[in-house]
Amino acid sequence: MTTKAVVCREPGKPWEVTELELDPPKANEVRIKIYAAGLCHSDDHIQKGDAPMRMPVVGGHEGAGVIDAVGPGVTRVEIGDHVVASFIPVCGRCRYCSSGRQNLCDDGKNAGIGVLQDGTFRFHKDGEDYGGLCVLGTFTRYSVVSESSVIKIAKDIPFEVACLVGCGVPTGWGSAVRAAGVRAGQTVVIFGAGGVGSNAVQGAAMAGAERVVVVDPVGFKREMAPTFGATHTFATAEEAFEFVRGVTWGELADHAIITVGVLNDEVIHDAINIVGKSGQVTITAVGPGMIKENPGPLIGFQRRIQGNIYGACNPLTDVPRLLSMYKSGKLKLDELVTRTYTLDQVNEGYQDMLDGKNIRGVVLIDHE
């Protein structure tokens, strides 16, 4: 079959709408009819060339839709199921899956290539193979993926919010709850309040943090932050530091979580500087930032620096859990969606993101 898709042919070139040939699913693969896809900053990093990726590639790694076809041997889902696409597949068999660390599944090894587990591609045009970003490619009407990359969800969940639980929501929420391990009564500082950062705010608030402090230069994001549980907001790290030092009597923060759009040296330094003794800096960002610190303050204060992917969440259990909290009114997902776009407007959507206009933009995919 053919499918309308948004692709990047080489780093630095705009996203391009085209028609691709799509192979049917092979063994242990499924075809998703995609209805919504999130505009995550990671895709922009790929398009800009900040992060390596085999080209050409179908963009998008946040998606939700309906299983349209299944290959031989598929047991996780069946035709007609509503699903969220997980940017980290979960095989359930490797060392990491079997020890409760599904976010580190070995099947995630092809994320930067976009090739399926058998080493072949499903998207093609004029004899050329197109990968799917994170072995998904959700900026398209249809995509063929491994059954390990889909999670069944309830049919009453709107696709435009369900798609966000494939990446941005668990990555942010888990950064606070899982990777940082925020506890009741603590002080947490979150650098960057976009699609991931807003969910880190929700996670810290739900974990019982006494103070959830947001640092973001964009006024719109600071205005939105209290919606998700922020107790205080500041435009600069300097303002936040003075506040935190004052309210903690000089002890400083228990946690700093970095969820900025582009990781840089300065924000790493600011995050390390704002945590006190036994404090942890959790890095959930992509970019050229380097850790250039004298080890003395790290050693003397016993500070920790923790990297994480997918918020250290377990997709098969945490995605349904997050959606259950959404249905019960405890997790805000509708409020994350600032604007919606068509497949033809992906470049516009990313420009709005870069201009600070969106918490999260979502592509609604037309099947007429």
DSSP 75-137: -S--TT-EEEE-SS---S-SHHHHTT-GGG-GGGGGTTTT--TTS--SEEETTEEEEEGGGT-
Average pLDDT over the chain, rounded to whole?
96
Give the Cα separation of 172 and 154 in Å (integer).
22
Query: What is the separation, in whole angstroms, between the first and last Cα of the chain?
Result: 16
What distances in angstroms separate CA 233 from CA 41, 89, 151, 188, 250, one per listed residue? 22, 36, 35, 12, 19
Residues marked active site are found at 40, 42, 45, 61, 167
**26 vs 288, residue with greater confidence:** 26
* pLDDT band with cut points at 50, 70 and 90 for residue 51: confident
Closest by CA position to 240, among listed 215, 269, 265, 209? 215
Phi, psi of 264 (to 5 degrees): -140, 165
> pLDDT > 90: what percent of the chain?
93
Instruction: Identify the helix (H) or strand (E) that includes residue 2.
Output: strand 2-8
d(CA 129, CA 54): 10
Strand order of the β-sheet with 253-258 is 232-234, 211-215, 187-191, 253-258, 275-283, 304-307
Give yes or no for a contact between 325 and 331, defined as CB atoms under 8 angstroms apart.
yes
Q: Length of the chain in residues, anyone?
A: 368
- Helix H or strand E segment including 45: helix 41-48
Domains, in order of start, for the chain: 2-166+332-364 (3.90.180.10), 172-308 (3.40.50.720)
- Residues 161-180, mean pLDDT to the nearest whole number: 97
Q: Does residue 33 contact residue 66 with C-beta atoms inside 8 Å? A: yes
- Statement: the pTM of the whole predicted model exceeds 0.85: yes
Looking at residue 338, its pLDDT comes to 96
Looking at residue 200, what is its pLDDT?
Answer: 98
Whether pLDDT at 365 is above 80 = yes
